[in-house]
Amino acid sequence: MKKIPVGVIGTGFIGPAHVEALRRTGLVDVVAIADIDQEVADRKAEQLGIEKAYGDWQKILADPDIEAVHICTPNNLHYPMSKAALEAGKHVVCEKPLAMNSKEAEDLVDVASRTGLVNAIHFNVRYYPLVHQARAMVEKGDIGKIFAIHGSYLQDWLFYETDYNWRLEPEYSGESRAVADIGSHWLDLIEFISGLRVKAVCADFATFHPIRKKPLKPVETYAGKMLSPEDYQDVPINTEDYATVLLEFEGGAKGVMTVNQVAAGRKNRIYFEIDGSKKALAWDSEKPNELWIGRRDGNNEVMIKDPSLMYPEAREIVSFPGGHTEGFPDTTKQMFKQVYSYIASGDYKRGIAPKFPTFKDGHREIMMCEVILKSARERKWVEVK
């Protein structure tokens, strides 16, 4: 089978994770990367073993060999790059959040629909095997009617006032930080598993470091915390380090999400519990191969990821037998397998709905994020339209 030629724009933290996952699908050739200038692009292309390196992202779009483009740049570039890529006739896989605001996101949904090209948003957290298992259990009625959903997404990479990254600057990141950056994953995950949509929100935000110390030279995400604090400049911070959001779901279920980027010791922990009328489920992304099943009458269980014990809907995104741990890099691989099988089969031309998250899901997350911001600013409940 002919492999689909792909280009990746942005090669900081997540770009190389895309490259690696794409290669592991067996469906794709990563033929080019682009980054901010030629020197960076050449260096990254050599590290990653990629043939073509562009110092100007537009050249990926002009490259006739390339059929699909991955956008792995800061948030403010997602909209112009995705739009231009679709208009150049390329399929697009974009990082989250899809755009800087719902107007841009809506435009991208329209452009994608007009061009008929495949569009995906990298909500990879859906692709942990036991997340798919939890969804199948909810769908089959195993846990009964959902009463409540609660959980958090906690990180500590912005713990010190000297921790700095473009995500702290609204012109690159958008008006919301913790909610848009990590809350978007949690909300997408919960709606995916429960099949319930958030109907209204009531949010409370905090910025624990109102002034941060910006290093005078740029550093890559997650590498920043390894540097010693010198040559810093004071910068006022206008986006939230922390948010707690009360949630009301369609059908009456209740919920609460806490996101915090200054939670010491929590490296990158996504956690949820779903309390149902028969059973409860709980899952922690730092122990992703265990799903807790809670009971009132009888012993609680811990289900270990094992395809032979899982529902078929979940089994299809498992690559290794029980006891062989699957984690973060595997989620991206599983999602890209679905995206590129969909492209290769031509299903998108026949109007068959994709299984993976698309720009419509990206648009929904941004819309929710805007409603959460409004609620935090006005200190009241706000309906999600």
Ligand X SMILES: NC(=O)c1ccc[n+]([C@@H]2O[C@H](COP(=O)([O-])OP(=O)(O)OC[C@H]3O[C@@H](n4cnc5c(N)ncnc54)[C@H](O)[C@@H]3O)[C@@H](O)[C@H]2O)c1
Interface ranges with ligand X (CB under 6 A): 9-15, 34-36, 40, 57, 72-75, 77, 95-96, 122, 124, 166, 181, 220-221
Nearer Cβ to ligand X (67/169): 169
Least CB distance to ligand X at residue 11 (A): 5
Q: Give DSSP secondary structure letters for 270-319.
A: EEEEEEESS-EEEEETTSTTEEEEE-SSS--EEEEP-GGGS-HHHHTT--
DSSP state for residue 169 in the 8-state scheme:
S
Residue 99 vs 310, nearer CB to ligand X: 99
Reference 319, options 298, 300, 305; nearest CA is 305
CB of 58 to ligand X, least distance (A): 9
Instruction: Give the nearer residue to ligand X in terms of CB position, either 74 or 288.
Output: 74
Q: How far apart are CA 123 and CA 102, in angstroms?
A: 17
Residue in the structure block whose two tokens are 């290794």: 320
Residue 221 C-beta: closest distance to ligand X, Å: 4
Among residues 40 and 367, whose Cβ is nearest to ligand X?
A: 40
Instruction: From residue 80, give the alpha-carbon distance in Å to each of 7, 55, 84, 335.
Output: 16, 17, 6, 24
Q: How far is the CB of 50 from ligand X (least distance, A)?
A: 14
- Tell the smallest beta-carbon distance from residue 136 to ligand X (Å): 23
What the block records as the tokens of 344 is 């290769």
> What stretches of the chain show up as alpha helix (H) in DSSP?
14-25, 38-48, 58-62, 78-87, 102-115, 129-139, 170-173, 178, 184-194, 312-315, 328-345, 359-378
Tell me the two tokens of residue 160: 């010190």
C-beta closer to ligand X: residue 43 or 324 = 43
Q: At closest approach, how far in Å is the CB of 175 from ligand X?
A: 14
- Closer residue to ligand X, CB minimum distance, 161 or 169: 169
C-beta nearest to ligand X: residue: 12
The least distance separating ligand X from the CB of residue 94, rounded to whole angstroms, comes to 8
Residue that has been written with the tokens 């948003």 in this structure: 121
**What is d(CA 76, CA 173) in angstroms, rounded to the nearest whole number?**
6
Nearer to ligand X, 161 or 181 (CB): 181
